[in-house]
Structure 1
C-alpha cells in the first residue's frame, strides 16, 4: 500500500517536471537563433550545456510520466501518441547532447544552419508531445475546430419555455462533471454528454436509474462527504450546491431522467420554477430590477436586495453567477 502511494505521488510529479524540458529546449533554440547576430555569438558556448540539461529534464519527465500512466484511466490511443512522441523526444535530445558535447566537435563542426534546422524540428516535436499531453488531461476536443463551431442553446425567454434537461440539468452536468467525463475523456469510462451515456454509465455501472434517484450512482457520489475518495466532483473541483443536488434528484425521480420535458409539466414544480428563474435569470421583476429579500442586522454591509439586472448583464458578458443565499445575500461569480 505504501509503495502504491509513493508510486502515485511520484507519477503526479510529471505535470510539474514536464515543464522543465520545454523550458530548456525553448531556451536552447532561442540561444541558437540569437547566436547568429554579431553581438550574441558567444551564446553558442552555452548550447552544449543546455543540451545536457534538456536531455536530463526530458528523461525525468519520461520516467515520471511512465509511472503516472500506470494509474490507468487514460484513453490508450492518446496515451500511445504522447508516450511514443516523448520517447522520440528523449532519443533526439540525448543524441543532440552527445553530438554537441562530443570531442569530435574540434575536428568536425556541424554547419550552423543544419544545427538550427534540427533544433527547430525538436521544438516542433515538443509542441506535438505537449499537445498530446493536453489531450490526455482535457480531451481531444479541448482545442479543436468543432469547439469553435459549437453553438450554445438559446436561453429561454420565459419559465414556460424552460426544458428541464436541456436548460437546467445538461448545463449543470457540463459545468460540474464534463471536465473529466465526456466523450473525449471518459474518466472511469463515464461520459455525461447525453442521457444515454448517463444510463450506460462507466466502471461503477449506470450513473442514473430513471425514476429512482436513491438508486442512482450519480446521486450517491454527489451526496457523499467531500472528504470521501469517491465524492464527486473530485480533486477539489466546485461541488454541487444543495439546490443543484435537489434539482438533479428531482429530474431523475420526477422527470424520469428524460429530455424534452417542460418545467411546468411535472408535479411539485414550485421550487424547481424558483431555481430555474434564479439559474436562468427569468421571472417577473420589479420595475427597478431589484428582488426584495429580508436582511439581517448582523450583516450591515451586505445588500438587502439582489440586483437581478446586474446579474443578467454579468451573465451576458460571459460570467457564471449563482445566487447561493438570499439572507444574507451571497453570490458565486466565476
Structure 2
C-alpha cells in the first residue's frame, strides 16, 4: 500500500511547484498572496514530500542523490509551512517572511535539480559533449567503447548507485554479472539465458520490458551488439581487431562508427536556394544532400565550349560541398585551387581529367575525403604519398595512370584499410581482348 501511494509522487509533484512559484512571485514582488493559494500550495507540498518518501521505499539501496532529493523535498514542505505560519501571524510581508521565501525558492531549485539527475542521470544538466569525444575509436574495446556506451545512454539512468531499480547496477561488467533481484543480468556465452536480453525482447507494453515505457528504447543494432558480445563470452578486453569474418559483431560495431551525416553537416554555413540557382546552369547542377541540409553535391558536365569560371564561382559555397564530380572536364590550375578550398569534401571524381602529381599535391588538406576517382589521368608514384596522408580515404580508383606496379603494390601493403581499384586483372583483360572463350581456372 505504501509503495502504491508512492507511485503518485511523479503525478502530483508539478502541482505544488507551480503553486509555490506563483505564490513566491507575488510575495517577492510585494503583492498580497491569497490565503487559499498558500494553503493549497503548502498542503500539496506536504503530500508530494510524503509520497516521495513512500516511493523511495521501493529502492533497497539508496544513493546520495535520492537521499538529498528526499530531504530537500522535505525541507521545501517545512519552509512552506513556516511561511504559512508567518502569514497567519500577520508577518507575511515582513523582511523575515521574504528571507524564508528566498530560501524556499532556492530549495525548490535544488530539489528539482536532484530529481532531474535521479530521473535522467547525473549529467542531465551537463554542458553538451563535443561530438568528437563521442566517436568510437578505430579499434574499440567492445565492452568499454561500445557496450558500456549503449548501457550508459539507455540503461544507467535507472540502474546506477543512486537509483538501483530492481537492485541492479549496470555501471560495470562485474555489476552485470552480479545481477539484481531477478538474478544475473548476463550469462557469458548464453544471451538467450541472460535476463537483460530477455527484458529487451519483451513486448513494449509488458511491465518487465527494458527500458520501461517513456524511455528511449534500444535500436535493433544496439540489441544485436549486446547479444553478440554476450555470446562471445562478455569479455571486457575483447577488441574489434580480435574478431574475424564472418562474425556479425564486426558489422554491427562498424555501423555505429559511421557518424550521422546530418550531425556532421549541422555546423555548415547557411546557403539560400536563390544562391544555388544563380550558381547552377545547364552544365552545372547543385543539389542538397538531404532536405533542408546545407551540404551540397555538385556535378559538372562538359559543355560545347568549356569555361572554368562557373566552377571557380563555386568558391562562395566551397565549405558546403561534400561531393564534387568533374569527370572528363579539362580542368586547370584555377579549378584545382578551388577544389583545395572545399575542406569538407567527402567524395571527389577527377577521372579522365588532365591532372598530374602537382595537382594532387594541392589536395593534401582534404582530410574528410573518403572516395577519390583519378583513373585515366597522368598522376604517378608521387601522388601515392599524398593519398597516404588523407586519413579518411577509404576508396581509391586509379587504373590507367602513370603509377608503377611496384609502387602501387607497396602502397597497398602500407594502406590495408583502403580499397584500391586499379583496373581489371591483366589476365582477364587479355582474355577479353583476344576474344578467347576458354575458361580460365
Scaled by the length of structure 1, what TM-score is found?
Answer: 0.67
Q: Greater relative contact order: 1 or 2 (C-alpha under 8 angstroms, separation 6 or more)?
A: 1
Q: How far apart are the structure 1 equivalents of 2:160 and 2:42?
A: 36
Per-residue deviation at 1:195?
A: 1.4
- Answering whether residue 100 of structure 2 is matched by residue 118 of structure 1, we say yes
Q: 1:253 to 1:315 in 2, by over 3 A?
A: farther
Cα distance in 2, alignment partners of residues 234 and 281 from structure 1:
28
Cα drift, residue 257 of structure 1: 0.8
1:64-122, CA deviations, whole angstroms, 9 ceiling, x for partnerless residues? 334433433561654443333333332332232233134xx3xxx57732221221122
Contact (CA 8 Å) 2:59, 2:163: kept in 1 or not?
no
Q: Structure 1 unaligned segments of length 5 or more: list them.
A: 36-42, 283-310, 319-334
How does 1:1-150 map onto structure 2 within 5 Å?
Answer: 8=4, 10-35=5-30, 43-44=31-32, 46-72=33-59, 75=62, 77-102=64-89, 105=90, 112-140=94-122, 142-143=124-125
Q: Structure 1 residue 196: deviation in Å?
A: 1.7
Higher helix share: 1
- 2:187 alignment partner in structure 1: 209
Superposed CA offset, 1:204-253 (max 9, x none): 22211222223322222222333332221222433334443332221112
8 Å Cα contact 1:138-1:185 kept in structure 2: no
Whether the 8 Å CA contact 1:74–1:187 is kept in 2: the answer is: no
- The one-character-per-residue Cα deviations of 1:291-330 (angstroms, maximum 9, x if unpaired) are xxxxxxxxxxxxxxxxxxxx33516859xxxxxxxxxxxx
CA contact (8 A) 1:32 1:47 kept: no
Q: Is the 8 A contact 1:247 1:272 kept in 2?
A: yes
Greater Rg by CA? 2
Q: Does the 8 Å CA contact 2:187/2:193 hold for their aligned counterparts? A: yes
CA contact 2:59–2:167 (8 Å) conserved in 1:
no
Show the 5 A alignment for 1:1-334: 8=4, 10-35=5-30, 43-44=31-32, 46-72=33-59, 75=62, 77-102=64-89, 105=90, 112-140=94-122, 142-143=124-125, 152=133, 154-157=135-138, 161-254=139-232, 256-281=233-258, 311-314=260-263
Q: Structure 1 residues 85, 171: closer, same or farther in 2, change over 3 A?
A: closer
Change (3 A) 1:76 1:171: closer
Structure 2: runs of 5 or more not aligned: 268-441
Q: Which residue of 1 aligns with 2:420?
A: none
8 Å contact from structure 2 (residues 63, 161) kept in 1: no
Say how many residue pairs are matched: 267
Structure 1 residue 20 displacement after superposition: 2.4
Shift of 1:177: 1.4
Q: Is the 8 A contact 2:79 2:104 kept in 1?
A: yes
Paired residue for 1:324? none
Contact 2:86 2:97 survives alignment (8 Å): no
Q: How many Å separate the matches in 2 of 1:229 and 1:49?
A: 40
